[in-house]
Chains A and B, each alone.
Chain A
Amino acid sequence: MKKRVLLICLVAAMFIGFPLAAMGAPDAIHIGATVSQTGHFSSEIGPFKRLMNAWADLVNEKGGIMVKEYGKKLPVKFTIYDDKSDQATVKKYYERLATVDRVNLMLGPYSSPLTFAASTAGENHQIPFIAICANSPKIYTRGFNWIVGTIDLGPRYTYRYWEMIRKEGKAKSVSFVVEDTIHPLSVYKGSKKLAEEAGLKVMTSDIVPAKTRDFTPIITKLKKENPDIIYVSSNIPFAINFMKQAKEMKLNPKEYHCIHHSGIFRDALGSAADDVIGQSYWVEGMKLGDTQLINDVLKKAKISEPMYPWSPAYVAAFQVLQKAIENAGTLDNKKVMDNLKKLKMETVLGEEVFAKTGYGSINTYPSQIQGGVYKVIYPPEVATGKHIYPRPAWK
């Protein structure tokens, strides 16, 4: 008899992990999300649990978000799991958020592959899903009705830079060095077209494995080619390694463009990062939106923007979330989703409006590191500095 009890306990143990009764309180707006606290994305998004909770605290200090149906402000509550940067885990936990925790709304995980898996939970259970750091076009071509994305599509990531290049008319050729990962690859594909449309000759495109650490062969080849612009479409570690070795080997094009070139890039490279152009959502001193909210949230969460330059995109997503609920006046899923789709608002990063398939309009600006300071160089309405071209060569 003891052993039967043991067996039953073993079976019961299978259900320990999830509470069968949902604790969805009607006196809070329940938002679900996952953050990659472990796994290979942990270095990029690990501390963002704090970011979400910091914003929730700030909103709740003012009473919460106004929901007309109940005639009062409701506080915001986050349920956040660690998705291990793993697709299967992400799918599992978004299902959990949808069916066990019964959240009102979901925020997407970090990166397109994970968002791909996570958004199916929103679609299957009809819960509004706001993707944040996910801009692969594939996500939005599935005919889903329950997803919107905060940021613009990957291929358009650097369109403002190419606009500037075309207007200036000085550069004539470009070579691409691309990290073989979904986001840089998608940015590259779009940029190649934009470069050609801007009248430049695309000399070569090297698609390089993500984990490459040694760039001697590529730099040797690029030295021979001598393009005007070397465009490095990659995540930051890749770009840092490339630039270090480029400087050592004295690869001197007229311009370097590294799409991600935030604070760590600058700190790790020192003078090698001078005059490099990259893309920023926001720099200090820009005439763009009301950036006080960014400062407040980041300060409260103790997250530094140069280290995690996608944090302003999260703040924009929070604003979108809040506005949609306020406009809907209710927590009913369908009404909130409808209001999300037809939303048009000024966020901390500029105007946000969603395309029919769901992707957003927030995009980045070309910014150049001048004397260690990031300056947005185009368009003139928001610029904080002038484009230095050609860059001073390394001796």
Chain B
Amino acid sequence: MNRRGKKLFYLVVLLLCLLLAALPWIGFSYAVVWIFLLAVYFTLALSYDIVGGYMGYMNLGHSTFFGLGAYTTAILLNQGFNLFAALLGALLLTAVFAAVVSYPLFRLRGAYFALATFGLISLIEVLTTNLRDLTGGSGGISTPPGNHMIPSYYLVLAVAGGTMVLSQIVARSKFGLALFSIREDEEVAAAFGVPTTLYKCLALIISSAPASLVGGIYVWNMTYISPNSVFGLEIALSPIIMAMLGGTGIMIGPLVGAVFITVVQEFLWTKVPYFHLAMYGTVLVLLGLFMPGGLVRTRFIKPFIQWLGLGETVDYFKNADAERIP
């Protein structure tokens, strides 16, 4: 049953991929935009989860990488570099930034780390606003105009797919195992010889890469960004909520979370004339009260995940539901 089930699953996945690839040509241009944004948020959620879920450090400032990637790409595009050079530049700059801030930030734990990283977003936002000559300040920055919807659609899907592969590689590697051990008990991990400081820094750099890439693709598509649109609350919190809602620590968690939230939001925002934000808030509250482990760990979905052959990933995190109190 399992083998047939797996074959079926891969067939469906293949069909989905074909559908996604063909979407722009079938003529559903709204779906293209919709999935573009979904893929951006999903990639952010998944890359967040490497540090937030695998390693257990809630990096609320993950969107800093997104914003840095976006602005760097915009500045380089305006200087005349082509897209790939600009994206590469963004990737490198953000990676260096991640390495530099990991030193002070990783001395903190838990809620303090979360708070400090959240503050980091504001710090970078202020810097971006103040360095007017470089970034255009509060007026925002615009890149050479053009309709790049379709190529950026494919690009972002490629990055999203790549991030899924990256996430799986990390989860199944020795490095990933080390990250889980840091999450379970950092002191014990260090005592067992895990180079915690180095690995934490590496994890942050790895998680910054997809974020900065989608930031660059985003600005190339939008042709205009302002500090508020890339460093604001919406882009900061949504991916993290998606990861938490779907289930942190599992690769498929952020995917489930991203799809669920985007669909729910679309429904609420287009069909419900008032109070949609309040309803969204209520959904969050209910999830926090009853399912903080995420959707994929609920009794209904868990067996499905195992049947799909991702069961080992779920079992890895059995302990996540029953942690010792320090």
Contacts and interface: CB of A to CB of B under 8 A. Distances in A.
Contacts of A117: 222, 224
B228 A113 contact: yes
A40 B277 CA distance: 13
Interface in B94-145: 126, 129, 137-140, 142, 145
B138 A210 contact: yes
A180 B263 contact: no
Nearest to A34: B269
Interface stretch (A4-12, A246-254, A371-379): A4-12
Contact of A181 (B33, B138, B307): B138
Given A18-B266, A87-B225, A117-B224, A185 B33 contact: no
B229 A86 contact: yes
A215 B50 CA distance: 42
Contacts of B126: 209
B276 interface: yes
A95 B33 contact: yes
A14 B30 contact: no
A143 interface: yes
Chain B interface size band reads 35 or more
Name the prevailing secondary structure of the A interface residues: helix
Contacts of B149: 124
Name the prevailing secondary structure of the B interface residues: helix
Chain A interface size band reads 35 or more
Interface in A172-196: 180-182, 185-186
Contact of B307 (A3, A81, A113): A3
Contact of A38 (B142, B263, B277): B277
Given A82-B269, A120-B147, A180-B137, A91 B33 contact: yes
A224 interface: no
A167 interface: no
Nearest to B223: A120
22 contacts: A3-B307, A7-B9, A11-B12, A14-B263, A16-B263, A18-B30, A81-B270, A88-B37, A88-B40, A95-B30, A96-B30, A96-B33, A99-B29, A99-B30, A100-B30, A120-B147, A124-B147, A136-B139, A143-B145, A180-B129, A180-B138, A185-B137
Interface of A: 3-4, 6-8, 10-11, 13-18, 20, 37-40, 49, 81-82, 84, 86-89, 91-92, 95-96, 99-100, 113, 116-117, 120, 124-125, 136, 138, 142-143, 180-182, 185-186, 209-210
